[in-house]
Structure 1
């Protein structure tokens, strides 16, 4: 296919870029750059009402109490006592997940006295909440080129 192409000064740079783009698009490295899946299986909800919200963070910024600052966020229904959140195309690197049972489906974590969650909460690695929310480092896990599946057990504070 390429043997019949005659390169001139005016066409060489554009054609070379197109050929390079074709090669890069079909290599395994390009496929790995797309990322992998991260699946969170949440249990421990106090009821089947509402939904569960999972937020995947790539740094400590906003973790765990500001899901709007997460790299990925999803809300899913509860089925037979479990809620399964699946994040697709997550690039490699450190991550941590916060999870809460949004019992009234208002898309936010309801608080008591402005600082104590009314709804069940959890995080990746199931760190114990002691005098405040868990730190990113305690909930951190690596994302590589293989799918990740984690179990998070929600706790009522």
Structure 2
């Protein structure tokens, strides 16, 4: 009995960690060609860098809007970057200046004239199941 009580106290902090579903509704998808790719970041360090991605996913593009569901995300602060990989090469194609040639979008923000937004500008708090709309 004492061992069970100790085990219960040990597991108590883990039982309180909620896992959430995040639905990303990507709007303004121009065609059904290729895929919609999403990168989920959970800290400012490494934001918009491949090595900094917490979770990524993709799904077939659907003209108009496309939804991607990410399950089992712990509560916390996140920022999203999405792009429409129209040619299906799994790379965000850019011009010689590094400006995206394929549509991109961010949670809570848009591409700026001289570069992408910061993690802080894109971040949101996730504490329950939630839907986020992102325009390309």
TM range (shorter): 0.7 to 0.9
Q: Is the CA contact (8 Å cut-off) linking 1:124 and 1:139 kept in structure 2? A: yes
- State whether residues 110 and 116 of structure 2, in contact with CA within 8 Å, keep that contact through their aligned partners in structure 1: no
Alignment of 1:52-91 (within 5 A): 52-64=36-48, 66-91=49-74
Q: Which has the higher contact order (CA 8 A, sep 6+)?
A: 2
**Contact 2:29 2:64 (8 Å CA) reproduced:** yes
Q: Please, which runs of 5 or more residues in structure 1 have no aligned partner?
A: 3-14
CA distance in 1, matches of 2:10, 2:94: 49
CA distance in 1, matches of 2:15, 2:64: 35
In the alignment, is the contact (CA less than 8 A) between 1:125 and 1:139 conserved in 2?
A: yes
- Which runs of structure 2 are paired with 1:8-157 in the superposition (5 Å)? 16=3, 18-22=4-8, 25=11, 30-64=14-48, 66-144=49-127, 146-154=128-136
Radius of gyration: which is bigger?
1
Runs of 4+ in 1 over 4 A off after TM superposition: 22-25
1:12 matched residue in structure 2: none
Could you tell me the TM-score, scaled by structure 1's length? 0.76
**Would you say the 8 A contact 2:29–2:62 is kept in 1?**
no
TM-score by length of 2: 0.86
Per-residue deviation, 1:130: 2.6
Alpha-carbon separation, structure 1, partners of 2:62 and 2:125: 28
RMSD: 2.1
Identify the structure with the greater strand proportion: 2
- Tell me by how many angstroms 1:150 deviates: 0.6
Aligned residue pair count: 136
**Cα displacement (A) at 1:63:** 2.1
Alpha-carbon deviation of 1:67?
A: 4.0
**Mean alpha-carbon deviation: is it higher for 132-141 or for 38-47?**
38-47
